[in-house]
Amino acid sequence: MNVNDATTGTTILFACRQNAGRSQIAAALAKQLAPKGMTILSAGSEPADAVHPVVVEALAELGLQPDSQPKPLDPAQVKTSDWVVTMGCGEACPFFPGVHYQDWKIDDPSGRSLEEVRGIIGQIRTHVRELLDTVSQG
């Protein structure tokens, strides 16, 4: 079976508190790296008004852009996702049986320098690749 067969129709939701940094970075990287047919979403337990400007700048250096405007974490989206990755939203993320969960310990890019955000992007890229490998193994 090829990777696309195992992951077609798979939905991954990345969630953090503000949906203005970590989850936006993870979603942008996953959209770049994931096979065709995989759905990538992002949301926040307490969404900010806008994506952190330094995150937008650092993603632009890679030819990427944020997933969307920050949006609230919808329990229905969590329930219908195959994988939910949390980064700092903790107890605010609803739990549903049958959904795979991972919690990544990643520093919040809010208030960080461009150099620090580049490092955070590198950490998230490593996690995204590992997650996509896990998902593709079914």
Q: How many domains does the chain have?
A: 1
Read off the CATH number of the domain in which 100 is found: 3.40.50.2300
Amino acid at 1: M
> Mean of the per-residue pLDDT values for the chain?
89
Q: For residue 98, what are the β-bridge partners?
A: none
Residue 107 domain-assigned? yes
Predicted confidence at residue 89, as pLDDT, reads 66
Residue range of the domain that includes 114:
15-136
Model confidence at 138: pLDDT above 80: no
The alpha-helical segments, DSSP class H, found in 8-137 are 22-33, 53-61, 75-80, 114-136
pLDDT > 90? residue 132: yes
3-state helix, strand, coil in the chain (%, to 5): 40, 15, 40
Indicate whether 8 belongs to any domain: no
Residues 6+ apart with CB under 8 A from 9: 37, 38, 39
Query: Is 33 a domain residue?
Result: yes
Domain membership of residue 68 (yes or no) is yes
- For the stretch 25-47, pLDDT in tens is 999 999 999 998 999 999 998 99
Range with lowest mean pLDDT among 3-7, 13-17, 130-134: 3-7
51-55, 67-71, 133-137, range with greatest mean pLDDT = 51-55
pTM: 0.90
Token duo for residue 18:
């503000």
Q: What are 92-107's pLDDT values in tens digits?
A: 666 777 889 999 999 9
Q: Residue 4 pLDDT > 60, yes or no?
A: no
Q: Is the pLDDT of residue 115 over 90?
A: yes
Cα(44)–Cα(16) distance, integer angstroms: 5
Closest CA to 70 of 134, 21, 36, 112: 21
In a domain, 1, yes or no: no
